[in-house]
Structure 1
């Protein structure tokens, strides 16, 4: 993979909680604890992370609805390794967001199984709803149907999240943001984390329409930000589907280039939600196609350079720690 030139780390003492990354071991790609630690210790002060589901290490046997719990079991083991101090003071996977079929059977029992498997680390569920009518846009990794978040079966399962004190992670494309807004209004007691500034599309029928689609996206972001139970992750813009084309370059971009491209989206979200409902994320290793981990955080620090120290603390660490309840007491 082409790499950008090594940059000096900006503001290296700023504490960071990275609230969105994955771990997997697929035939063509491996990103496990060793790779994550190499990124976390590349110069920025990343203190802890949150794992988000990615179809890794499901159980091979047992009832279908419970097979996803295998991923939580695996990640909880990785978190225990990190918590041993054998790899330093960083706390990888301090919280876990898993997968559950909220439209399927036995939702309550599946959620309880996740909570047991994750110990005191399981914090939420992601059910991807990313779908688009264009054949050029591939649906999310879990292949959701059109209109998942509005279906009665899904909402019946969704209603049980509050019984287990779990948040919901929404992953959809930007034309679908109103579907998440409707979900937030129907269930105001459940916290929704809006992934990747709402899921920007810039390929297929959206290519060459940056200004028009930005206006549409901004309108919907301002609307969903009115719902106090919604928080937003500020990142995920390095994905190829966003249409910036950085992944096609022989040499990956500098943090200055990244900041210039991403700033309109991130600044709009911060203005709409406020720093207390926004959290910077890496989305690694997915965003690795466009940048290094070190340059990604440099870019986010450039975007936030004019913020106060208090707001930086919220955006880079404290909002994530509050939303994922990382400072709750651990059982003995």
Structure 2
């Protein structure tokens, strides 16, 4: 089902304006991370020898707070075998001058430096072994030199682009801090820019709500040679007008995923369920949830995703530090392990490690 916007659309930022999808004044805010609250529940890692690639996390600086390399490594120190990670763009450390189309290069430079420092450590995860950056694909073919510059700045780690499309006409239904224009994935200029990805060997991370998955299906059909991975189990909205319509959301979301799964170039990330968007409300509790409670809440969503896409096209993600507002890093991965405890060794190997390694071409980890 395509959501069509009738009447006057919100203003669209000019091409190259890095406020597109940015953390803007008055936009949705993610719940705050509270270290003292998280400290009320600390678990030991279960199955500590299971290899993991964290397929989706961020690093950032002001104005969103500070979550840098050492902060992320500290979160991973709970005993899970985190072999490597994939950094996903979050509009941090952008350049402040020069051609606006190239401002996002600052983020890739910042992350590539962090990745080199992580690789130089004698132990620990290879943080940002894959880098997914930002670029305004609405620039059309003019975005190609920007993409080439990202590849060079990534020093062998750059793997793709995320251009967030998550938009809904009702502000109460928006769970992302991004502020994209409506129907971005159907924009001809965006698609002209999107066409530049595959010739450069780049992938696309898609972030959209469940109400927009028909648009993503249309994009995937139009570009069957471009690998696409949908973030956060497909963005099933559980807030605002959808909070009391869970059954309707589940049915609509499930049907949209089934349609999307017909596109063999599309993969799916399992995570992000700690975000306010999904309506679980863990961040509002007196104490953080333990992994058993997380597993009970998340199991139906994870099982449905894997049933539809298959384990070889799904990968687990932490979405840290965003999901850190709802649970600890160790508890999050414990929950994923609990959910899949009875699954085959092959399925688990794909979900925790293999699918991300293949999709992002990470090599040995």
TM-score bucket of the superposed structures, by smaller chain: over 0.9
Structure 2 residue 132 is matched with structure 1 residue 97: yes
Determine the C-alpha separation between the residues in 2 that align with 1:116 and 1:222.
37
Determine the C-alpha separation between the residues in 1 that align with 2:44 and 2:114.
30
Equivalent position SS for 2:214: helix
Deviation at 1:89, TM superposition (A): 3.9
Task: Report the TM-score when normalising by structure 1.
Answer: 0.96
| Structure 2 residue ranges without an equivalent (≥5) | 1-33
Question: What is the count of residue pairs matched by the alignment?
Answer: 328
CA contact (8 A) 2:174 2:277 kept: no
Deviation at 1:28, TM superposition (A): 5.3
Give the equivalent residue in structure 2 for 1:219. 255
Task: Report the TM-score when normalising by structure 2.
Answer: 0.87
Is the deviation greater in 135-144 or in 185-194?
A: 135-144
Determine the C-alpha separation between the residues in 2 that align with 1:176 and 1:261.
24
Equivalent position SS for 1:143: coil
Equivalent position SS for 2:172: coil
Determine the C-alpha separation between the residues in 2 that align with 1:290 and 1:114.
33
Give the equivalent residue in structure 2 for 1:199. 235
Give the equivalent residue in structure 2 for 1:281. 317
Give the 5 Å matches for 1:46-195: 46-86=82-122, 88-104=123-139, 106-138=142-174, 140-195=176-231
Give the equivalent residue in structure 2 for 1:257. 293
Deviation at 1:94, TM superposition (A): 0.3
User: For 1:154-205, what per-residue CA distance to the aligned partner results, in whole angstroms no more than 9, with x for missing partners?
Assistant: 0010011011100011001111111111111010000000000001211111
Is the deviation greater in 95-104 or in 319-328?
A: 319-328
User: For 1:58-93, what per-residue CA distance to the aligned partner results, in whole angstroms no more than 9, with x for missing partners?
Assistant: 01111000000110011000000011125x242000
Give the equivalent residue in structure 2 for 1:208. 244
Is the deviation greater in 129-138 or in 292-301?
A: 129-138
User: For 1:275-330, what per-residue CA distance to the aligned partner results, in whole angstroms no more than 9, with x for missing partners?
Assistant: 1100011000000111000000000001111111121111000110110000189x
Give the equivalent residue in structure 1 for 2:267. 231
Give the equivalent residue in structure 2 for 1:269. 305
Q: CA RMSD in A?
A: 1.4
Give the equivalent residue in structure 2 for 1:243. 279
Deviation at 1:208, TM superposition (A): 1.5
CA contact (8 A) 1:19 1:279 kept: yes
Structure 2 residue 330 is matched with structure 1 residue 294: yes
Give the 5 Å matches for 1:2-41: 2-3=37-38, 4-27=40-63, 29-41=65-77
Equivalent position SS for 1:56: coil
Determine the C-alpha separation between the residues in 2 that align with 1:254 and 1:301.
13
Determine the C-alpha separation between the residues in 2 that align with 1:92 and 1:85.
10
Deviation at 1:137, TM superposition (A): 3.2
User: For 1:73-132, what per-residue CA distance to the aligned partner results, in whole angstroms no more than 9, with x for missing partners?
Assistant: 11000000011125x242000000000100026211111110011021000100000000
Determine the C-alpha separation between the residues in 2 that align with 1:297 and 1:47.
13
CA contact (8 A) 2:88 2:132 kept: yes
